[in-house]
Amino acid sequence: MVKIKDHKTPDMFDPTPFLGPRRKHLLATSWASLFRDVILPTLPVEKIYCHYNASQGAPTKELYSVLGVMIIQQMLNLTDEETVAQVAFNIQWHYALNITSTADADTYISPKTLWTMRDNLTYRNLYNDIFECAVAKLADVFSADVSRQRIDSVHIFSNMRHLGRIGLFVKTIKTFLVNLKRQHKDLYESIEASVADRYMTKQGAAVFSMVKPLESVKTLATLADDVFALVERFKGSSPVTSMNSYHFLVRLLKEQCIVEANPDSGAPKVSVKANKDVLSDSLQNPSDPDATYDGHKGKGYQVQVAESYSMAGETNTLSLITAVAVEPAHKSDAHALIPLIESTQKRGLGPKEVTADSLYGSDENCQKAKNLGVEVVSPVMGKAPEGAVTLADFTTTEEGAVTVCLAGHAPEKISQSNGRHSAIFNAQLCEACPFLNGCPVSAGGNSHVLRYTDKMLRLAQRRAREDTADFRNTYRYRSGVEGTMSQYDRVTGVKRLRVRGLHAVSFAAVMKAVGINILRATAFRNEGKEGGLTPLTAASRLYSSFKDRFHQAIAATKRWSNNMQYYAPNAMHSTA
């Protein structure tokens, strides 16, 4: 059975009559007030409602409140045990979740309920719906300007141990043997005792933990032979090949080893790949098979974050995180820009201008963004040689054809086809030109030829624009996203999560972004910016809303009384 409370209809009476004016003031200016009034009624309960039976089974906890708990837990970076205690005893949480009863049925939530709801949201990808509903509502309530946005990524770690290559081999083999012993004990007992003892006993594990650097190559060779032997031994057993731990063995063998035929005996020969030959998307730990490796930041995941901002001199509006995407660590930032732009545009929060660093600002991305109506402000990777004449120094038409060179000479002939251009200049004029040494034209017979493509011209013009005051004034706001990443980590602990796996990591990162938006909106409201509420005004309005609800309740009682006076005599007449 499903339990849902109407959070849009105001309460008839003050839900906190036991609080004095000072504590009510604190409550009115805290995140709890904004959460109760803005976020809670808009949570997408209908998306989770359909996964419960409406008429059978035990009653659920009130679904709006449970979804709210999911957000607040991640926002404040609490464990399940801490969350249970807060729901049970914290008045601020009760107010935020609109819990007006003191009964255990309303104020107690079990850890199992948290696990079940988190699994439902995680593996059905419903946490993105919560994020989209929350950011859309906050943008509407506070009239946030999302025309300017900036994007960056932050590296995060899941709750896994960071293993070296020897540790990775040992962990993967041991994980397989433990699961094999648990699920197919007869097959486990058929393994050579020496192999089982090497990985399943404390003495064997201690040997691998004390390997000297000079012995690491020999140890890895032994481990590679054991992996290959186990894969070959059970590759024909369908009960074993269906185990995830066996798949990790196969993946490890493929990513870390080379199997080739021995030219002398013809038997397979296993060797370990060099570190440089192992790809960055290889297995890092069987406990978290989705985690990958980034050469700059290490093992784990990365979160792409887009946020709105305002420039100096513009109306100061609420800065919101508009898009969040979690990826394995090896993914390049260059592939994240367009999906984030498209995601925000689908939700009516699309930017007109995006500021990002050079990895996002490839020519391909800039052209795709331009087709979507978005200007990308980003420096070009690499630099032109100092003192050299670039394509930006030539005067060109809108179609990219050169009309005049830096020395003021027009080409004798121009041609263009499929984005490729050429301009032929008089050889005598070019040889007498003072800019010839740094000029990109090439000598050829009786003429000098300039060959270039549309892409080369666009990059040259972008590099030239980077030296302008207008570009520097616009691009300096990109650094503000670093403050967002710092807040994202300090407040919510996003850089070190308690979960493993891409789905669970994505849930935590996205819900923590919802929490950041709530805290930002609360601070913005309390500062009284652009229609936001100052602390005194917020407290005053909270008291006024209680007063209005009380008068509404009195009026409703009078209407009910009048109706009863009218209908009761008529009912007696009809009975007679």
Q: What is the pLDDT of residues 515-538, one digit of tens each?
A: 999 999 999 999 874 444 444 444
> What is the structure's pLDDT at 133?
96
238, 229 Cβ separation under 8 angstroms: no
Q: How far is CA 545 from the centre of its chain?
A: 37
pTM of the shown model = 0.86
Residue 572 has pLDDT above 60, yes or no: no
Q: Which residue has tokens 């990513």?
A: 255
Q: Where is pLDDT greater, at 105 or 81?
A: 81
pLDDT of residue 431: 87
Q: Is the pLDDT of residue 184 over 80?
A: yes
How does DSSP assign 1-63, residue by residue?
A: -------SSPPSS-S-TTS-HHHHHHHHTSHHHHIIIIIGGGS-HHHHHTTS-SSSSSPPPPH
Higher pLDDT, 536 or 314: 314
Cα distances from 521 to residues 25, 102, 529, 531, 542, in angstroms, run: 17, 29, 10, 12, 17
Q: Give the per-residue pLDDT at 102.
A: 86
Predicted pLDDT of residue 246 = 96
DSSP per-residue letters across 367-425: HHHHHTT-EEE-PPSS-PPTT---GGGSEE-TTS-EEE-TTSPPPSEEEEETTEEEEEE
pLDDT tens-place string over residues 373-421 = 999 999 998 887 777 888 999 999 988 999 999 889 999 899 988 889 9
Instruction: Provide mean pLDDT across the span 204-215.
Output: 74
* Domains within the chain, CATH numbers bracketed: 1-124+534-576 (no CATH), 165-277 (no CATH), 294-379+470-492 (3.30.420), 391-463 (no CATH)
- Could you tell me which of 14, 8, 41 has the C-alpha nearest to residue 28? 14
Cα(129)–Cα(141) distance, integer angstroms: 18
pLDDT at 186 over 70: yes
pLDDT value for 19? 87
Cβ count within 10 A of residue 105: 10
Q: Check residue 412 and give left, alpha or beta (phi > 0: left; psi -120 to 50: alpha).
A: alpha
* Eight-class DSSP state of 426: E
* Of residues 536 and 23, more confidently modeled: 23
Question: What pLDDT is stored for residue 261 in this prediction?
Answer: 80
3 state DSSP class of 239: helix
Decide if pLDDT at 369 tops 90. Answer: yes
Residue 161 in 3-state DSSP? coil
- For the chain, give the mean pLDDT: 88
Residue 273 pLDDT more than 90? yes
Distance between CA 487 and CA 319 in Å, rounded? 13
How many angstroms separate the CA atoms of 13 and 101, rounded?
13
Phi-psi region of 358 (alpha: psi -120 to 50; beta: other; left: phi over 0): alpha
